[in-house]
Amino acid sequence: MSDTSRDVRIAARALGRAGLVHAYGHCSARLDRDSFLVCPSVPMEHVEVGQPCLTVPVTGPMPDGVLGEVRLHQQIYDRRPEAGGVVRFMGPNMMALAALGTVPEIRHGFGTYFAPRVGFWDDIQLVRDDTRARGVIDAMGEGAGVMMRGNGAVVAGASLREAVGLAWYLEDMCRVELAALSAGLSTAPTIPRPDAETRATRQGRIFERMWDYLTHGDPESPSAS
């Protein structure tokens, strides 16, 4: 568990430094079929070296001290046995697009990892009960991410490191969509699903390089020792 806890703390600080979270947001990594670790319930960039993470069951009540919207993580881990990491984030481009009730189209390489689409949950209320959490993940569908109107986004990856990369990708996807809208080019052709699925490779250390980039210089990174 110590390596997993370290990765969760590193991920939390990296997401904070990248501007993808602020006072709000959380990330987690699966421990086994029945449990996962979530970052401490503090602003993510403020997570301290060695600070204990919190163990949460995949099903059942939230333990004391765990934020209510971690229910979203529970729903993903319960439904997707292949999921190893989840990030709940608040990137500025994504927040702007979600507030407009719009999801980004697949227009560039980073966007292809969200084929067939980015999900959308059209409810501004906080997700602090199981019914809403189930609704959000229903809206996620087959994809790797879901945006919530005025309330951030959730992404899931095969590992926490992949989920961190996907958060960065979704934020960039929203940046491109806002640029297209600003330029009056929102009707420009998008990438078809077959091409997107071919482009969305995991080879060539795609997510490992993004992890290295975002976590560079972290005090708990192995490269820092």
The confidence score (pLDDT) of residue 224 equals 57
> CA-CA distance, 118 to 124, in Å (whole number)?
17
> CA-CA distance, 89 to 161, in Å (whole number)?
14
**Is residue 222 scored above 90 in pLDDT?**
no
State the pTM of this model.
Answer: 0.96
Phi-psi region at 132: left, alpha or beta (left = phi > 0; alpha = psi -120 to 50): alpha
> CA-CA distance, 22 to 13, in Å (whole number)?
10
**Residue 10 pLDDT class (50, 70, 90 cuts):** very high
**Structural domains of the chain, count:** 1
**Is residue 170 scored above 80 in pLDDT?**
yes
Query: Mean pLDDT in the chain?
Result: 96
> CA-CA distance, 43 to 37, in Å (whole number)?
16
Place of tokens 């250390």: 205
Q: What is the CATH number of the domain that holds 56?
A: 3.40.225.10
Residue range 47-97, pLDDT digits in tens: 999 999 999 999 999 999 999 999 999 999 999 999 999 999 999 999 999
Residue range 87-125, pLDDT digits in tens: 999 999 999 999 999 999 999 999 999 999 999 999 999
Domain encompassing residue 84: 2-224
